[in-house]
Structure 1
Amino acid sequence: MKKILLVLLVIIAVSCKNEAKKEIKKETIVAVKKEVFPTELGKVFEAHGGIDKWRKVKTLSFTKEDEVHTSDMNSRKILVNSPKYSLGFDGNEIWSLEEEKGSLKRDPAFYYNLYFYFYAMPFVLADDGIIYEKVADFVFEGINYPGYKISYKANVGTSPDDNYIVYYNAKTYQMEWLAYTVTFRTKSPVDNYKLIKYNAWENVNGFVLPKQITWYAKDKDDVYGPTTKIVDFKSPLASQAQLADSFFDKPIQ
């Protein structure tokens, strides 16, 4: 694992040196340079740094608690590395390795790219095979947040029945909320949405990426409020430098 971390540090150094510090209606479509999205959603991508620039990113990395998450943006290979375990996707299969039995208390197939999706918002909502639908505003504390529902065509990804709704600031077009469903275990559509508030953002090489997110839930009066589940993202990296394919391989014991 020390070897893996050393390679990542080299990439970070190279990057820092080379890069500058339920109502649905028909939607007008606007081209964001070479790609086409609903008008308002295109503006959300632009508010966060722009799709054209995002497509040039080859390595995305961040730290969550004691885990370092590193992704190849082209192949979507992923490595999650912590002191007690590591897991990832090498392009062919999902693997996991524990130094202490029982230290990995989650299904690698479900977990390996979970926080990649939460962190790479809103840009992952421009992936191939996506269907966009305008939805009713989400109203929180008297403020209206317009939104788009993102669903997937059949056989896209491991959970094509997952749905996301991104809600954004009507004036700045910055993303504010994410509603999502989880169908990994049920393998069928569900209507029970979980809700995340994107509390804080930071500039990472010209991209506005999340710094902290908090899960919200309804209380007995059916009013949304924050839960104790809060995630901080640290040590961010969005680089045009690319890691070797072997970086994502399962370590040999």
Structure 2
Amino acid sequence: MKKITVALLGLILIVACNTTEKKGKISEKTAKETKVVAKTYPEKLQKVFDAHGGIDTWNAAQTLVYEMVKPKATEKHITDLPSRKTRLEGKGFTIGYDGKDVWLAQKDTTAFRSNARFYHNLYFYFYAMPFVLGDDGITYTKAENLSYDGVLYPGYKISYGKNVGDSPEDNYFIYYNPETYQMEWLGYTVTYFNGKPSNRVSYIRYSDWQKVNGVMLPKVLTWHKTNESGKVAEARNSVEFTNVSLTNEMMKNETYARPKDGVIVPKGK
């Protein structure tokens, strides 16, 4: 009886040791697999993120909703931040991106006259500045200061790697207040329609910032004209954003799903 007990005890100890060893290996492996490498940004750009509530606060959010006041109607834009799925509800039309396809549903062919694929996330990228400049696949280089009304605004040029988005040749230029580090201007180029790099830079001024769930988001975007030398000139038009919501909750997948009357919009269409 004692021999059996001793043998049994020895077996238990061996199993226990093996189990402990395996757990140790699993824990070590898991720790290696779940190790997160923090992204680093240029020092001044990090200060811009911080001035707007912090990139970590933004990354923790799941859903952004806002209404965009346009001359003829108000549009509602919904974006799933991790996946960038979108839903735009306008007068007589709805545009969405379900994670795979961009789709368009409209009452008649005159409800939406623009390019749905180009438009589906256009204003999101303008509105979600500066945080979308923390996305993967971005290269940051110092830009020449932007001069306007006697003030010099330092900034960065943002360029994308190949195959990043529909228009990887597009460039952005972010300019910030040298004292507060709050974003003041955005410069951008558009190459979507012909695929060729463009040197023509358009400029947007950001103002009337509003705090939403700990993050500073703009209330008004104002597009400016450029003069013959490419410098910022007088204001051209403004767009106001209202009923803004930034939450840590996800919408249901059905929000972004293509409806029965929705038509898939191929690239270049």
Range class of TM-score, shorter chain: 0.7 to 0.9
Displacement after TM superposition at 1:245 (Å): 1.2
Q: Secondary structure at the match of 1:55?
A: helix
Report the counterpart of residue 135 of structure 2 in structure 1.
127
C-alpha separation between the residues in 1 aligned to 2:155 and 2:258? 39
Unpaired runs of 5+ residues, structure 1, are: 1-32
Greater percentage in helix: 2
- For these two proteins, the number of residue pairs brought into alignment is 221
Work out which of the residue numbers 163, 166, 169 in structure 2 matches 1:155: 163
Report the counterpart of residue 58 of structure 1 in structure 2.
62
Percentage of matched positions with identical amino acids: 41
TM-score by length of 2: 0.79
C-alpha separation between the residues in 2 aligned to 1:50 and 1:168? 15
- Indicate yes or no: 2:187 matched with 1:196: no
Report the counterpart of residue 13 of structure 1 in structure 2.
none
C-alpha separation between the residues in 1 aligned to 2:58 and 2:153? 24
Q: Secondary structure at the match of 1:187?
A: coil
Displacement after TM superposition at 1:35 (Å): 2.2
Report the counterpart of residue 176 of structure 1 in structure 2.
184
- Indicate yes or no: 2:43 matched with 1:39: yes
Displacement after TM superposition at 1:219 (Å): 4.1
Unpaired runs of 5+ residues, structure 2, are: 1-36, 262-269
AA aligned opposite 2:151: I
Is the contact made by 1:214 and 1:226 (CA closer than 8 Å) also made in structure 2?
A: no
Work out which of the residue numbers 228, 237, 249 in structure 1 matches 2:245: 237
Greater C-alpha radius of gyration: 2
AA aligned opposite 2:94: S
Report the counterpart of residue 226 of structure 1 in structure 2.
234
TM-score by length of 1: 0.84
Q: Alignment RMSD, CA only?
A: 1.5
Work out which of the residue numbers 95, 111, 117 in structure 2 matches 1:87: 95
Deviations 1:8-67 (A, max 9, x none): xxxxxxxxxxxxxxxxxxxxxxxxx93200000000001001011111110011101211
Q: Secondary structure at the match of 2:79?
A: strand
Note closer, same or farther for the CA distance 1:221–1:39 as it changes in structure 2 (3 Å cut): closer
Report the counterpart of residue 67 of structure 1 in structure 2.
75
Note closer, same or farther for the CA distance 1:35–1:220 as it changes in structure 2 (3 Å cut): closer
Work out which of the residue numbers 162, 181, 194 in structure 2 matches 1:186: 194
- Indicate yes or no: 2:126 matched with 1:118: yes
Report the counterpart of residue 113 of structure 2 in structure 1.
105
